[in-house]
Amino acid sequence: MDKAVKPLFEQNPLVYPIVASSTFRLKSAEEGHQLSEGQPGYLYSRWSNPTVDSAAESIRQMEGAEGTLLLPSGMAAISTSIICLLKAGDHIVAPQPVYGGTHQALKTTFSKWGLEYTFVDGSSVEEFEKAIKENTKVLLGETPANPTMSILDLEAFGKLGSKRGLLTMVDSTFAGPYIQQPIKYGIDVVIHSCTKYIGGHSDLTAGALSFKSRKIYNQVYHEAKVLGFLALSPFDAFLIHRGMKTLGIRMERHSSNAMAIAEFLQSHPKVLKVHYSGLPSHPHYETAKKQMKHFGGMVSFEVTGGKEGGRKVVEGTKIFTLAVSLGGVESLIEHPATMTHTDTVMSREDKEASRITDNLIRLSVGLEDVDDLKADLESALDRV
């Protein structure tokens, strides 16, 4: 099915409108039949909606994809890709560290349905290859990784999938499609939580799947349509479309602010280690420089004082807001070990394997004045 956006409005509005209709008028029963059979057009908003398609098209173009689907959340995008591309008895190789929801879904829900998984060092293509079995169908990567900012070499990852005849999927949420386009490195499926940088204003929840091939896109589209996974609100799609218009300029400011914060933290006596791929000291700096236009707005660091030191810092800021999520214009701070990667999400052993320490702090660096952000962190670090 060709889901290119069709003009619906004679007035040609500058901003594509919110089409809130759940269903669409038909000229004839035959038209309804043709639309039901997959002819381009609009029949029912659970299948496709003009505002949603318009937003999806803006992401598709930036990703360089053959097709993009929008879902109600980033986690819905991850789950949809797994449900529609894998079956019971298949095996997936997944990264550590990884978004907490992905980790939990693989261990608790998808394993219950008969899906096998193996976690490996998410920055090592060699470890991915070692974990491949006869029933492996998907290699799942995440770069930059949540919350340690490790980097996966997309070119080597794409080549591995091609060599072994396996689907490659990459969660690119921390970079966003302006900074990084995994498809040009051979990745089959790109995952985004549009809640983050794509939306950019902490006022929507959505996810996106972009596909290198039309064949995979069609497979996921038709199965997701049957299951009802494509019912993103056109109101949220409108906000996605709005966010895409400023994504580039926002990501440049996020990145420059984050670089300044990372350099500031690196020189602070109460900071033990800074995780930011834009620093030459980062172990994957050269890889990041090769595949990322900028280094993004996410920074994590380890503070002295252990878990209590981390708590004092995240509770001591005034400009950085203590909250989960990321990618909005405002700066956020959180403590992964007790907030996003808690003991209910992953075991102590999994945390150790993922290098998520009790003194690790994650920052989503926003668009505020960078000197104000530095002063805010300086004040919080004084509490340790």
Active site residues: 46, 99, 171, 196
Query: Sheet of 167-171: strands edge to edge?
Result: 67-71, 207-211, 189-193, 167-171, 136-142, 91-96, 116-121
Q: At what angle do helices 370-381 and 234-266 cross, to 10 degrees?
A: 60
Neighbours of 39 (CB within 10 A): 12
- Nearest alpha-carbon partner for 28 in 18, 17, 39: 39
Between helices 234-266 and 50-63, what is the axis angle to 10°?
30
Distance CA 177, CA 167 (A): 20
- In SS3 terms, 101-148 reads as HHHHHHHHHHCCCCCEEEEEECCCHHHHHHCCCCCEEEEEEECCCCCC
- How many angstroms separate the Cα of 262 from the Cα of each of 291, 295, 312, 373? 20, 11, 19, 11
Query: Which residue in 85, 54, 75, 61 sits closest to 218, CA to CA?
Result: 85
Whether 224 contacts 80, CB under 8 Å:
yes
